[in-house]
Amino acid sequence: MIVSLLDTDLYKFTMMQVVWGRYPQAQAEYKFQCRSADADLTPFATEIRAELDKLAGLRLQPDEAAFLRSIRYIRPEFVDFLESFRLDPSQIEIQMETGFELRIRGPWLETILFEVPVLATINEIWSRHHFPLTVEREAEGLRRLEEKKRQLLGTSIPVRVMEFGTRRRYSQAWQERIVEQLAPQLIGTSNVHLAHKLGLKPFGTMAHEFLQAGQALAPLLHSQKFMLEEWMQFYRGDLGIALSDVFGFDAFLADFDRLFAKAYDGCRHDSGDPAIWGERLLAHYESLGVDPRHKTAVFSDGLSIPKATALAERFDTRIRTIFGIGTDLTNDLGEKALQIVIKLVRLNNQPVVKLSDSPGKAITDDVGYLEYVRAAFAAGIRRN
């Protein structure tokens, strides 16, 4: 199900590179969460365990190492490290005392790559059992794919779409089939293996876990700014898209000062109303004296092509737009896709949280700490 060490999102490697360079001793804990209320994964626990154990056999191949070395911001020494790197599935723990529970524990540097292949594996096993690829289902998936092609070709303005669906794909084979057929209309993919195989541009910067980790590395109210500075100093002008919803957009804007607004290429939306987010981002740039027409807004929350098109038209000529579309591309065969996530919940044995701008998307395993963070940021924003 996982065909390569590169069969993951680029932002796992870009974050891993910072961990390798700055925090190689940090210890991490991740927690799996299923947001599909009616989904029971316990009957498939043994099968999931068996597939995850196969991750130990993945090795970076010479052509894959060469591909990574061709990317300007991937350091040769980091690729050297990856050539000897091995995933250790014993760091993944599955328990079923109170339902299906999965946690990942170990050095941050060793465990950071697990998230995407674990989610992709669970999704593929779920799909295999609940809606196998019958002739009828395959035909429906291809019909929907053709409709997406027509939608992209029929837009009045260019809609810049990157494929972003590895974590929630129907299967590896289906994702590859979709990306290969859509390739002429995509600006790229977040999947490094497919970018290498199909000659596409890989896309990705940071995920929530990177900014969350700051809660264990700096004072809470300064943690987001601290990690944004860490990223900026490490990449020196590359990978300049900042994720905006770890503590909510209000807290992000309070931290995203003129220095960041000028240094970063743009921001990524991943929760809350995207149109409101875009308008507020534009107003924030303008309040800082920064021309938003030279910046980029990346939208990546539950998008479809019609939603992306509407946002592209709304913000046309006002700010550059890119759209990361995931589930709607790689798991759209007429069935309801499984909604699952894995998030960082502890670093160096300290709780870390993600608040989000959407109800139900907060992640924590310490409710008391979550409430403390909410109160602290509410007070901090008022002071600002």
Contact between 255 and 224 under an 8 Å Cβ cutoff? The reply is: yes
Say whether both 22 and 163 belong to one domain: no
Please tell me the predicted confidence (pLDDT) of residue 381: 66
Positions of the chain with pLDDT lower than 70, given as ranges: 381-384
143 and 289 both lie in a single domain:
yes
Instruction: Tell me if 81 sits within 8 A of 130, measured CB to CB.
Output: no
Separation of alpha carbons 95 and 102, rounded Å: 6
Write down which residue in 309, 330, 351 finishes a domain: 330
Burial label for 359, CB within 10 Å (0-12, 13-18, 19+), is exposed
Same domain, 142 and 77: no
Q: Which helix (H) or strand (E) holds 137?
A: helix 135-153
Say whether both 360 and 227 belong to one domain. Answer: no
- Domain of 304 in residue numbering reads as 135-330
So what's the pLDDT on residue 363?
75
Q: What is the CATH number of the domain that holds 15?
A: 3.20.140.10
Domain end point (choices 330, 357, 375):
330
My answer on whether 253 and 356 are in the same domain is no
Query: What is the spatial distance between Cα 379 and Cα 384, in angstroms, rounded to a whole number?
Result: 9
Q: Is residue 2, in this structure, part of any structural domain at all? A: no
pLDDT at 27: 98
Indicate the number of domains in the chain: 2
Q: Are residues 378 and 364 in the same domain?
A: yes
Residues 204 and 317 in one domain: yes
State which of 330, 352, 374 marks the end of a domain. Answer: 330
What is the model's pLDDT at position 356? 78
pLDDT at res. 383: 53
Structural contact between residues 211 and 11, judged by C-beta atoms closer than 8 angstroms: no
